Structure 1
Amino acid sequence: TVGLGNISGVAIAIYRGGPGVVFWIWITALIGMCIKFYSCSLAIMYRDADKQGKLQGGPMYYITQGMGSRAKPLAQFFCIAGLVGFLGVFTVNQLTQTFWNVVDPNVSIANWGEFNWKLIIGILLSIITSLVIFGGLKKIARVATAIVPFMVILYFVAVLFIMATNLEQILPSFKLIFEEAFNVKTAVEGGFWGLIMLGVRRAVFSNEAGLGSAPMFHGQSKTKEPVQEGLVAMLGPFIDTIIVCTLTAIVILLSGAYLEAQNDGILMTLIAFEKSLYGYGDILLMLIVSAFALSTLFTYSYYGVKCLSFLTNPKIGKWFNVYYIASITFAAIAPVAVVINLIDLAYALMCIPNMIAVLYLAPKVNKEMKLYFSKRIHG
């Protein structure tokens, strides 16, 4: 799940909360590992066949099966919130912003104005995504998805190179994070507690712990061991947030980019890469971001389809894709603040029913966990 949340999401957090927000992102990630364990274990414990007979898992299923039919409104509430939360609007917005900042088409191509260029990008992304989803051009999706692991490695190499060439700045950057994490006089809206909440929101955006998307994915696993699946799922928040987000944050801090960027997310990371990689880092980051964004756009509608299918039926559920495509153009031209607030609200609404279910059903996971480790220890 490494993606734009790890690159631009961290930049947005640092812009709004300063370096100290990174510490609270770490704390949330550690809690998120526990949430992922419980929720993904539940996804295997409570699976059900949909109206087409396909095995499905996720919050809507462990809510209705684990908590009983009376809890179905909770599952429906989750799915309704998911119809907004599972749109790819942040991905589109930041990809568009990346192209605008790096290519600067007003200068390099034609002076048509920022709004018009972003509208064109949004329409092109809508067409490409619709060709993949509706037109059956699965080869494009497979190529984009296949490129992602290579781009992840490339991102790691680039970040580690930047850190290696700025070794003297690494410890001061970590020191700055810890000093600012407990700054009760922080200028963040909401003060010290506002800083903590900002860290929580951006961490959830990075690793999706608590949202319910991971259980929907892990619920399709062929394993019959819930605890084993839960343990595997714990790696997600650790890799996404503890490792990747930290690397991004350190590059932003040691480069000084956090002192000069505006509030459009990805720009801060682009500045950090450009300053640290001899003027070409922003182009490299644009290529990496493009691969992440396209692979996400081609696949993310899957979750929304599952939500609408649960609310109605699989045949109607596929219509989510039409709404999903329409949201792409809107996301390209919308201000980043609007997109972030929309997704933050949807994520909060999704977390409420999911976390109620996870906490309610946690004792059953604990019981399953004791049996699992007992078998492992005693053979």
Structure 2
Amino acid sequence: MEKIDSFLAEASSLAWGMPLLILLMGGGLFLMLYCRFVPFRHLGHSLEILSGKYVDPNAPGQISPFQAMSGALASTIGMGNISGVAVGIAMGGPGVLFWMWVSALVGMATKFFTCTLSVMYRGRNERGEVEGGPMYMVTEGLGRKWKPLSVLFAAAGLIGTLPLFQSNQLTQIVRDVVLVPSGMIGEDAFVANLFMGLALALPVAIIMFGGLKRIANVATKLVPLMVVLYTGSVLYIIFVNLPAVPNMFAMIFEDAFSAETMLGGAVMQIIILGARRASFSNEAGIGTAAMMHGESMTNEPVREGLVAMLEPFIDTIIVCTMTGLAILVTGVWQSGDTNGVSMTAAAFSEAMPVVGKYLLVLCVFIFAFTSLFSYCYYGAKCFTYLFGFKYRKVYDYFYISTVIIGAVITLTSIINLIDTAFALMAVPTMACALFLAPKVMAAARDYFGRMKAERERSIT
């Protein structure tokens, strides 16, 4: 196991080197400047679209823009927000949060381009059904000669969308908060983790076999609940420690550029760590959200991109920041605990001694659960692209088995494995966004021109 851990750590470090940092953050900055800050200039219109004002029931696709966004947020607002932020701060200090913000801001432009393209260049699967995602963006937008990039994305997506992290962190917090304190199990809890993994796999299987519409319906109901419940809890923690907040912000900015970092003075390592944790959290540039938004019922690709660009803002700028502040103001980040969910649980217990940790268990359950069934949809799309629908059941059973595996293996191995897969997924996704950016801008000029003409007609 130690050799596997070492190999995965080396693979993750190699994948997340300077070239990928330039591709993700540099590419996102280029797209932000190239589109002249569209994500910020049209936020109001994005919210109008999200409200359902422009839904066309006769448009191709399977789900509404709001359902697409809820499905995407079901995976992005998940354990990355509770555990991922804590892992980043534990490994790199408070400055990691600053670079997560930077990644999210440029990620708004990245999401705008990639999710616009996911509708512009939809393909058809072997059943003749319309599908979207980077694998189709590559072949339909760049051409068939680029298909190896589609295969790379789908192969890496099979690994990157496995439920290992969610299952691991859910069993971890149930064990730490409920089972160990009650004396039901000891510190060595392999058998207990195994049974919790089995218990979690059952409802995931039920929802998973219900297909995309069941996933979208469940996500639409649970995502608003989990956002309100979790943000309300974290805001309470921040409020009771309000005098410490200004100092925490100062520490975040100072540590982001400090030579005295927790990674031995390497500021570039802090930047890379922030980009990794932001990508795991909001998935901008990775391509998973493009698979969900590619299924949206719309004839307006730009409209879908405007909805998708809200996700990094909601996920990282709002939710991750609140988690980070809760960890910092309570001081638990200095405990030396590198298990993300355990650190966040300590912050909840510190601020709300009686109910805090149990409230977090509920939040973790909802976050992990929604991510689990969103990821199964992403992985299934990757599998059927590679192998067709004939063997689809093989993937379903494999996915459910990894829910159980994730409950019993180490967190470090899981993070390194998924980080490596995400890095490989980013290459085809960002290649499409950069090479096809002129196509997106041409569509954007046409779209906003029509919207302006329509407003002028309504006034006159």
Is residue 301–residue 320 contact of structure 1 (8 Å, CA) maintained in 2?
Answer: no
**TM-score, length of structure 1 as denominator length:** 0.94
Task: Provide the rounded CA distance (Å) in 2 between the counterparts of 1:352 and 1:100.
Answer: 37
**Cα deviation 1:215-234 (Å, max 9, x = unaligned):** 11111111111111111111
Answer yes or no: is 1:264 the counterpart of 2:264. Answer: no
Shift of 1:278: 2.7
Shift of 1:130: 2.7
Q: Return closer, same or farther for 1:135/1:82 CA change in 2, 3 Å cut-off.
A: closer
Answer yes or no: is 1:24 the counterpart of 2:99. Answer: yes
Shift of 1:19: 0.4
**Cα deviation 1:260-308 (Å, max 9, x = unaligned):** 1411111111100110013321110001110121222233211111111
Answer yes or no: is 1:54 the counterpart of 2:129. Answer: yes
The one-letter code of the counterpart of 2:447 is Y
Map of 1:178 onto structure 2? 253
Shift of 1:240: 0.2
The partner residue of 1:66 within 129, 138, 141 is: 141
Residues 40-51 of structure 1: pairs in structure 2 closer than 5 A: 40-51=115-126
**TM-score, length of structure 2 as denominator length:** 0.78
Task: Provide the rounded CA distance (Å) in 2 between the counterparts of 1:141 and 1:371.
Answer: 30
Answer yes or no: is 1:287 the counterpart of 2:362. Answer: yes
The partner residue of 2:389 within 278, 289, 314 is: 314
The partner residue of 1:7 within 62, 82, 88 is: 82
Shift of 1:142: 6.1
The gaps in structure 1 that reach 5 residues or longer are none
The partner residue of 2:379 within 279, 300, 304 is: 304
Answer yes or no: is 1:90 the counterpart of 2:90. Answer: no
Aligned-partner SS, 2:436: helix
Is residue 82–residue 307 contact of structure 1 (8 Å, CA) maintained in 2?
Answer: yes
Shift of 1:327: 1.1
**Cα deviation 1:161-187 (Å, max 9, x = unaligned):** 222222101111111101101012323
Map of 2:225 onto structure 1? 150
Task: Provide the rounded CA distance (Å) in 2 between the counterparts of 1:142 and 1:369.
Answer: 30
Q: Return closer, same or farther for 1:13/1:134 CA change in 2, 3 Å cut-off.
A: same
Aligned-partner SS, 2:391: helix
Task: Provide the rounded CA distance (Å) in 1 between the counterparts of 2:349 and 2:221.
Answer: 26
Of residues 246-255 and 159-168 in structure 1, the stretch that sits farther from structure 2 once superposed is 159-168
Map of 1:351 onto structure 2? 426
Map of 1:116 onto structure 2? 191
The one-letter code of the counterpart of 2:294 is G
Answer yes or no: is 1:78 the counterpart of 2:153. Answer: yes
Is residue 258–residue 265 contact of structure 2 (8 Å, CA) maintained in 1?
Answer: no
Map of 2:448 onto structure 1? 373
Task: Provide the rounded CA distance (Å) in 1 between the counterparts of 2:250 and 2:165.
Answer: 31
Shift of 1:197: 0.2
Map of 1:214 onto structure 2? 289
Shift of 1:141: 9.6
Identity %: 46
Task: Provide the rounded CA distance (Å) in 2 between the counterparts of 1:143 and 1:30.
Answer: 29
Task: Provide the rounded CA distance (Å) in 2 between the counterparts of 1:140 and 1:68.
Answer: 31
